[in-house]
């Protein structure tokens, strides 16, 4: 019987489980709807469902093997060393002893990590960040957040909040943010922000090709309008990229990375988003411009699975087992 490993990405809507062989190649993948917390049992029904899915995959005749280790990426504030999810508002979890509870159910070592750091770790293992020891990895999706690797080690900060720059305020902006503040970077530079700003433009008669979609415009629709050559849709992506570049400049001065990886759903817009980021960084950080690269993430959703599995294995002495 061969050894198998599980890398898991818990999301607010769906949870993805990847099963890997000894050489860390993905051999099977499945997903299920994340189970909402129970008023009395809390996160337990979700943890039971997750354990059941991991065991089902491990026992499947196609992959069939002895489960050796599990890594889990979670959207929220994590204490990786203690294996505790402090606060994951998307999941409705507070102080969930995730690593210990899953170890009890699966009887193998379980490590946990913030989902953006898992994603970045995946890109570091086999994607855009391969052989790079100093980089910043952004995910631009429903929200925006960064994971930071310095000298080969993931930076978590004193309370696991390192890289949450989506809640840094942009001067002159006032849209309410899910976090309770107003004018956060995330209210503009995210799929949600792009959709909101496009709705405003359409309301004032701009981006006519989206007029019929009023009320249900997504960032992807705005991207399609760009592809059709709409100048206002293009200007919107440029505004978002420029803003991200402006905020990144501060991080570049603080950390001196050699690479910035941009991933997440909105990054599918490619150079439409990356080029304004590059331009703004060249403008603000001319001394770093000769070596600082801005590249798209390469692994897509699998980055999170690969990274979760590698938590605690490379450049990550502080993650508990
Ligand atoms: Zn916020």
User: Could you write out the DSSP letters of every residue in 79-140?
Assistant: ETTTTEEEEETTTTEEEE-HHHHHHHHH-S-EEEEEHHHHHHHHHHHHSTTTT-SSEEEEEE
**Dist CA 237 CA 18 (whole Å):** 33
Classify domain 2-120+301-312 at the CATH topology level: Nucleotidyltransferase; domain 5 (3.30.420)
115 neighbors 10 (Cβ within 8 angstroms): yes
Range list for CATH 3.30.420.40 in the chain: 2-120+301-312, 128-296
Token representation of residue 62: 């196609």
319 — pLDDT class (breaks 50, 70, 90): very low
Across the chain, what does the average pLDDT equal?
A: 94
pLDDT greater than 90 at residue 284 = yes
Q: What is the CATH number of domain 128-296?
A: 3.30.420.40
315 CA → ligand 1 middle, Å: 30
Q: Looking up tokens 């992807």, which residue turns up?
A: 220
164 CA → ligand 1 middle, Å: 9
Which of helix, strand or coil describes residue 29? Answer: strand
197 CA → ligand 1 middle, Å: 16
Q: What percent of the chain has pLDDT over 70?
A: 96
How confident is the model over 215-228, as pLDDT tens digits? 999 999 999 999 99
177 CA → ligand 1 middle, Å: 5
**Dist CA 293 CA 257 (whole Å):** 9
How confident is the model over 42-75, as pLDDT tens digits? 999 999 999 999 999 998 856 668 999 999 999 9
185 CA → ligand 1 middle, Å: 7
How confident is the model over 70-125, as pLDDT tens digits? 999 999 999 999 999 999 988 999 999 999 999 999 999 999 999 999 999 999 99
Q: How far from 27 is each of 22, 72, 111, CA to CA, in Å?
A: 10, 17, 20
**Dist CA 245 CA 108 (whole Å):** 42
Of 21-25, 31-35, 36-40, the poorest mean pLDDT is in 21-25
321 — pLDDT class (breaks 50, 70, 90): very low
76 CA → ligand 1 middle, Å: 14
6 neighbors 57 (Cβ within 8 angstroms): yes
Residues with Cβ within 5 Å of ion ligand 1?
167, 177, 179, 181, 184
């Amino acid at each position: 019987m061969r050894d198998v490993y599980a890398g898991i990405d818990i999301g607010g809507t769906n949870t993805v489980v990847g099963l890997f062989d000894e050489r860390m190649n993905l051999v099977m993948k499945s997903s299920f709807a994340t189970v909402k917390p129970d008023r009395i049992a809390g996160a337990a029904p979700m943890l039971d469902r997750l354990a059941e899915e991991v065991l089902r995959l491990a026992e499947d005749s196609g992959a069939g093997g002895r489960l050796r280790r599990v890594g889990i990426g979670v959207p929220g504030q994590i204490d990786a060393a203690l294996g505790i999810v402090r606060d994951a508002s998307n999941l409705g979890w507070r102080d969930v002893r995730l690593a210990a509870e899953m170890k009890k159910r699966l009887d193998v070592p379980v490590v946990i990590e913030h989902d953006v750091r898992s994603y970045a770790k995946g890109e570091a293992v086999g994607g855009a960040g391969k052989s790079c020891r100093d980089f910043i990895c952004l995910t631009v999706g429903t929200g925006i957040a960064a994971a930071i690797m310095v000298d080969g080690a993931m930076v978590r900060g004193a309370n696991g909040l390192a890289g949450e720059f989506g809640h840094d305020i942009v001067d002159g902006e006032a849209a309410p943010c899910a976090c309770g503040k107003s004018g956060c970077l995330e209210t503009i530079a995210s799929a949600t922000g792009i959709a909101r700003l496009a709705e405003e433009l359409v309301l004032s008669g701009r981006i006519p090709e989206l007029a019929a979609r009023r009320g249900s415009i997504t960032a992807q629709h705005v991207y399609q309008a760009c592809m059709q050559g709409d100048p206002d849709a293009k200007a919107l992506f440029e505004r978002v990229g420029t803003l991200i570049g402006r905020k990144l400049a501060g991080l570049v001065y603080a950390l001196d990375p050699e690479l910035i990886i941009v991933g997440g759903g909105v990054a599918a817009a490619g150079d439409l988003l990356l080029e304004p980021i590059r331009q703004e960084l060249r403008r603000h950080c001319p001394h770093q411009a000769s070596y600082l690269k801005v590249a798209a993430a390469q692994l897509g959703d699998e980055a999170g699975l690969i990274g979760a599995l590698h938590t605690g294995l490379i450049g990550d002495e502080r993650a508990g087992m």
